[in-house]
């Protein structure tokens, strides 16, 4: 049970990291294109 919770938290953190990474990459692409 606690092992499953740990895995779930890890997946959730990984998902948030990927979403934030995509936002940063997208923002940089727009910034460099405008520049």
pTM for the model: 0.56
Q: Tell me the DSSP string of 1-34.
A: -HHHHHHHHHHHHHHHHHHHHHHHHHHHHHHHHH
Q: What is the mean pLDDT of residues 6-34?
A: 90
35 three-state secondary structure: coil
Report pLDDT for 1: 58
Domain that holds residue 9: 1-35
Domain count of the fold of the chain? 1
Q: What is the mean pLDDT of residues 19-31?
A: 89
Please determine, for residue 8, whether its predicted confidence score (pLDDT) is greater than 80.
yes
Please determine, for residue 19, whether its predicted confidence score (pLDDT) is greater than 70.
yes
pLDDT bin (cut points 50, 70, 90) of residue 20 is very high
């Amino acid at each position: 049970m606690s092992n499953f919770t740990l895995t779930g938290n890890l997946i959730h953190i990984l998902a948030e990291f990927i979403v934030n990474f995509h936002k940063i990459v997208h923002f940089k692409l727009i910034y460099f294109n405008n520049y």
